[in-house]
């Protein structure tokens, strides 16, 4: 059963110019994104910087107003509400069910608050009594493998990995149904990244969490996700189970992202090609497939006809005119 269903989500920003500030164009940060997350599942949303993945996560949290589309969330068993159209006063009670782990553990914690107060803050906002808050903070610190004495210290006393553990504890304080993790390990050292990823995997198993894991590093995504959705210039170009996507990427952009992942033995990359050129401008995307100026497999149709995301096999979707014709990843 699905917990979240995003349908044709769009977030456009107007470009204004002139004395009267008339709208002369639009930045299509998110331009028709659809996906779902099942209960207990982790979906990774990946792509280069500027592709729109963080905008998607902020729309789900209603930190941004949606231009159009639906964000259907199962607040109660079998009962969906559309977060995209819900009035703000009705969104607030639902925020306890959707929490966020931020990218920067240094900036996301108030340096003037004790760790215990930081973790207890969402409990306090939701009217949890003081005695219950103290017990819950102790439980959460143990859950994220932090010592009980951490509650009486300030964030600056901890390393980046420890601060991120505090951020995770705060996100879990209200027992959310969905956690949105916005590049939660990108600001950490590689060795610390592994520790945080293992912690998230353990918490998912123990708590049955559903998670939207936003990232640009595919080497991290492989270990934490059940499925992967690949974004390029505001649109999803491929969705697949994690193992299938890494074994045989179908979209040229996915292939390019995987080729860019550092490998101990470069020869193992085979014939995969790293994409050349810059990411397309979301304010002025190229006609047809937005990736065609960087795609080594582009044909004439790619330059004029934008492909739709279509199913190609069980659980796999791809937006490419040549997906059925070419051996893009050497698997057919």
Q: In this predicted structure, what is the pLDDT of residue 314? A: 79
- Judge contact between 247 and 263, C-beta under 8 A: no
Phi–psi pair at 62, nearest 5 degrees:
60, 25
| Mean pLDDT over the full length of the chain | 89
Report how far residue 24's alpha carbon sits from residue 15's, in angstroms, rounded to the nearest whole number. 6
Number of C-beta neighbours around residue 116 at 10 A: 21
What's the rounded Cα separation, in Å, for the pair 48 and 118? Answer: 32
* 173 and 122 Cβ atoms separated by less than 8 Å: yes
Distances from the Cα of 21 to the Cα of 18, 66, 284, 288, angstroms: 5, 22, 19, 30
| 184 Cβ contact list (under 8 Å, min separation 6) | 101, 102, 103, 164, 167, 168, 196, 200, 213
Read off the pLDDT of residues 72-85 as tens digits, 9 standing for 90 and up. 999 887 789 999 99
- The position carrying tokens 């937006």 is 319
What parts of the chain have a pLDDT lower than 70? Answer: 263-275, 324-332
DSSP state at residue 96? G
- Antiparallel, parallel or unpaired: β 316-318 and 235-241: antiparallel
Pair 189, 160: CB distance under 8 Å: yes
- Provide the pLDDT for residue 307: 93
Rg, the chain, Cα only: 21
Residue 7 CB contacts under 8 Å (≥ 6 apart), including other chains? 34, 69, 70, 71, 72
CB-CB contact of 115 with 150 (8 Å):
yes
Closest Cα partner for 32 from 237, 320, 298, 321?
A: 237
Greatest Cα-to-Cα distance within the chain, rounded to the nearest angstrom: 67
Amino acid 329: pLDDT:
43
The structure tokens listed for 224 are 């934490």
Give me the DSSP letters along 202-222. HHHHHH--EEEEEES-HHHHH
Distance CA 287, CA 34 (A): 21
Domains and CATH numbers, the chain: 2-225 (3.40.50.300)
| Phi and psi angles of residue 61, each rounded to the nearest 5 degrees, phi first | -80, -5
Render pLDDT for 155-202 as a digit per residue (tens, 0 to 9): 999 999 999 999 999 999 999 999 999 999 888 888 899 899 999 999
Whole-structure pTM value? 0.90
Specify whether the CB–CB gap between 44 and 242 falls below 8 A.
Answer: yes
The predicted structure's pLDDT at residue 191: 84
Query: DSSP letters along 265-322, please?
Result: SGGGGTT--PPPSPPPPTTSPPSSSTTGGG-TT--GGGGT-PPP-EEEETTEEE--TT
The Cα–Cα gap between 289 and 75 comes to 36
């Amino acid at each position: 059963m699905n917990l979240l269903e995003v349908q044709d989500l769009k977030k456009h920003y107007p470009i204004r110019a002139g004395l009267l500030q008339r709208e002369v164009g639009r930045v299509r940060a998110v331009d028709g994104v659809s996906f779902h997350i099942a209960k207990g599942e982790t979906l990774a949303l990946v792509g280069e910087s500027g592709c729109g993945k963080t905008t998607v996560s902020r729309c789900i949290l209603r930190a941004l107003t949606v231009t159009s589309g639906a964000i259907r969330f199962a607040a109660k068993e079998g009962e969906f509400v559309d977060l995209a159209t819900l009035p703000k006063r009705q969104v607030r009670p639902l925020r306890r069910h959707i929490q966020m782990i931020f990218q920067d553990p240094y900036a996301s914690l108030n340096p003037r608050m004790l760790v215990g107060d930081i973790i207890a803050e969402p409990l306090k906002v939701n009217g949890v009594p003081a005695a219950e808050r103290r017990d819950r903070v102790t439980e959460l610190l143990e859950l994220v493998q932090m010592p009980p004495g951490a509650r009486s210290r300030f964030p600056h006393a901890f390393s980046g990995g420890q601060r991120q553990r505090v951020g995770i504890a705060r996100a879990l304080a209200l027992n959310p149904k969905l956690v949105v993790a916005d590049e939660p390990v990108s600001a950490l050292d590689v060795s610390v990244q592994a520790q945080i990823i293992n912690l998230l995997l353990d918490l998912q198993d123990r708590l049955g969490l559903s998670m939207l894991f936003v990232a640009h590093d595919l080497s991290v995504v492989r270990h934490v996700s059940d499925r992967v959705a690949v974004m390029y210039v505001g649109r999803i170009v491929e969705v697949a189970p994690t193992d299938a996507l890494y074994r045989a990427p179908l979209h040229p952009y996915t292939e390019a992202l995987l080729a860019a992942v550092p490998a101990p033995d470069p020869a193992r990359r085979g014939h995969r090609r790293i994409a050349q050129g810059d990411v397309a401008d979301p304010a002025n995307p190229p006609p047809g497939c937005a990736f065609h100026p960087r795609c080594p497999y582009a044909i004439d149709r790619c330059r004029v006809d934008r492909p739709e995301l279509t199913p190609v096999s069980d659980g796999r979707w791809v937006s490419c005119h040549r997906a059925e014709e070419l051996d893009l990843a050497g698997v057919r």
